Amino acid sequence: MKLPIALSNRHIHLGQKDIEVLFGDGAKLTHFKDLSQPGQCACEEKVDVVGPKGEIKGVRVLGPARGETQLEISLSDGFKLGVKAPIKDSGDLEGTPGVKIVGPKGEVELERGVIVASRHIHMHTDDAEKFNVEDNQKVKIRTSGQRAVVFENVLVRVSPKFALEMHVDVEEGNAAGVRNGDLVELINE
Amino acid sequence: MKLPIALSNRHIHLGQKDIEVLFGDGAKLTHFKDLSQPGQCACEEKVDVVGPKGEIKGVRVLGPARGETQLEISLSDGFKLGVKAPIKDSGDLEGTPGVKIVGPKGEVELERGVIVASRHIHMHTDDAEKFNVEDNQKVKIRTSGQRAVVFENVLVRVSPKFALEMHVDVEEGNAAGVRNGDLVELINE
Element (H, E) at B4: strand B2-8
Mean pLDDT of all residues in B23-42 = 96
Question: Residue B159 above 90 pLDDT?
Answer: yes
pLDDT at A189: 75
pLDDT digits (tens, 9 = 90+) for A153-183: 999 999 999 999 999 999 999 999 999 999 9
Show residues of chain B in contact with A147, CB under 8 Å. 87, 119, 153, 172
pLDDT at residue number B120: 98
Q: Which residues of B touch A75 (CB under 8 A)?
A: 174, 177
Distances (CA, A) of B16 to B13, B23, B59, B93: 10, 10, 17, 17
**Per residue in A38-82, pLDDT tens?**
999 999 999 999 999 999 999 999 999 999 999 999 999 999 999
Mean pLDDT over B49-56 rounds to 98
Specify burial of residue B64 (Cβ count, 10 A radius: 0-12, 13-18, 19+): middle
The predicted pLDDT at position B9 comes to 96
| H or E segment and range at residue B22 | helix B16-23
% of chain B beyond a pLDDT of 90 = 99
Rounded percentage of chain A residues whose pLDDT exceeds 70: 100
Taking all residues of chain A, what is their mean pLDDT, rounded to a whole number? 97
Q: Identify the pLDDT of residue B188.
A: 85
- Average pLDDT value over all residues in chain B: 97
User: For every residue of A5-45, which 3-state class applies, written as one string?
Assistant: EEEECCEEEEEHHHHHHHHCCCCCCCEEEECCCCCCEEEEE
| CB contact (8 A) between residue A150 and residue B147 | no
Task: Give the pLDDT score at A162.
Answer: 97
Each domain of chain A, given as residue ranges in start order, spans: 9-117, 120-187
Please compute the mean of the pLDDT values over residues A138-153 and round it to a whole number.
Answer: 97
Strands annotated E in B9-130: 11-15, 31-34, 41-50, 55-66, 70-72, 87-88, 100-102, 107-109, 114-117, 120-123
Give me the half-sphere count of Cα atoms (radius 13 Å) on the Cβ side of residue B53.
Answer: 9
With CA atoms as reference, the chain A residue closest to B168 would be: A175
Q: Do A171 and B176 touch (CB under 8 A)?
A: no
B35 neighbors B42 (Cβ within 8 angstroms): yes
3-state secondary structure of B109: strand
Average pLDDT over residues B50-74: 98
pLDDT in the model for residue A169? 97
Q: Which residues of A touch B89 (CB under 8 A)?
A: none
B177: Cβ contacts below 8 Å, ≥ 6 apart: A75, A87, B143, B145, B146, B147, B148
Q: CATH class for domain A120-187?
A: mainly beta
CA distances from B21 to B114, B115, B121 (A): 18, 22, 33
Mean pLDDT across the stretch B105-112? Answer: 98
Give which of B8, B80, B142, B149 to mutate to test A binding, by max A Cβ within 10 Å. Answer: B149
Task: Please provide the DSSP assignment of A131-152 as one string.
Answer: HT--TT-EEEEE--STT-EEEE
Residue B189 predicted with pLDDT over 80: no
Q: Mind telling me how many Å the CA of B184 is from chain A's nearest CA?
A: 14
Complex ipTM: 0.95
Q: Do B146 and A74 touch (CB under 8 A)?
A: no
